[in-house]
Amino acid sequence: MNSAIEIKKISVLKSERVKSIDLHPTEPWVLVGLYSGNVSIWNHNSQVIEKTFEIGKSPVRTGKFIAHKEWIVVGSDDGFLRVYNYNNMENVGELKAHTDFIRSVVVHPSLPCILSASDDKLIKLWNWENGWECTKTFQGHEHYVMQVAFTPKDSSVFASVSLDCTIKMWNLESSSPHLSIEGHSKGLNSVEFFETDEKLYFIIGSDDYTAKVWDYETETCIQTLEGHTNNVTSTICVKSDANFIITGSEDKSVHAWNAVTYKLDHVFTSELGRVWTIGFIKDSSQIILGCDEGILVGQVITACS
């Protein structure tokens, strides 16, 4: 049985350019990082902006909820990581983490740590129980590090992608990568892990206008997703009634792909300009797009044939 996928617009929130989004695990909140330097918490149920944090004048390219601490952590172009209590909006931490733009932060699933990745070519591990001490610096990339992600099967291992065209795998115990893979002709922007039939894969979005699906165990590319006409900025895989992959691009579109056959099922054009980031609302069939001119919420409709 095949499932066809379609995306229909539900709502739009106009704003300045959206560079990052993150969804709270239990509340209906979206953390929105803006190129203007502000950060907002938007309620996707009520369609209301509940809080706005004036971080500074530097673009905020990445931000995450640390829900069990009731914090948000954001990274800016000024190289600072800033931490706020999202209830009372108190600044609970601020540190000069990098010498260049911070592109990505990710929260460890169990340890009191985050990873940050930067245009200074470095990845750093920070421990908030030790006063935000940098406990490890990871070196090996030769260009901007665009995103980092922990593997779902082993939280001591993480992946990074860079404009040096490489995917690197790291262990938290070592400052050097244990694996480096090349497979794209231009820089890499995004990495996302997903599991299908108990096998682990990861998908990479690239400036060569493609996304590639890789088998984690064999370290081989099993599928190239072609169709975008500009840089692929973001990728997600969603497990639902019909597993699907969503890719977003600077061509102002998102593509919906079957995650089993890798068939392109649907092309959705954003009315808000280039697509920079994508999120999925848990226990729903809705995706959130962060674009040049704001946020767009879309309903993913599947039909079996």
**Cα distances (angstroms) measured from residue 111 to each of 26, 62, 72, 106, 156:** 20, 20, 16, 12, 10
The structure tokens listed for 218 are: 């064999």
At which residue do the structure tokens 């894969």 appear?
201
Mean pLDDT of 51-70: 96
User: CA–CA separation, 271 vs 267, rounded Å?
Assistant: 13
The pLDDT tens digits of the residues spanning 73-126 come to: 999 999 999 999 999 999 999 999 999 999 999 999 999 999 999 999 999 999
**Cα distances (angstroms) measured from residue 54 to each of 4, 60, 84:** 42, 10, 11
pLDDT at 2: 54
- Residues present in the chain in total: 305
pLDDT at 4: 73
Which of 25, 79, 13 lies closest to 52, judged by CA? 13
| CATH classification code of 3-19+100-304 | 2.130.10.10
Q: Do the Cβ atoms of 254 and 279 come closer than 8 Å? A: no
**Cα distances (angstroms) measured from residue 106 to each of 111, 148, 218:** 12, 7, 25
pLDDT at 304: 59
pLDDT at residue 54 greater than cutoff 60: yes
Q: Please, is 271 exposed, middle or buried when counting C-beta atoms within 10 Å of its C-beta (0-12, 13-18, 19+)? A: exposed
pLDDT at residue 302 greater than cutoff 90: no
Q: How confident is the model at residue 200 (pLDDT cuts 50, 70, 90)?
A: very high
Q: How confident is the model at residue 192 (pLDDT cuts 50, 70, 90)?
A: very high
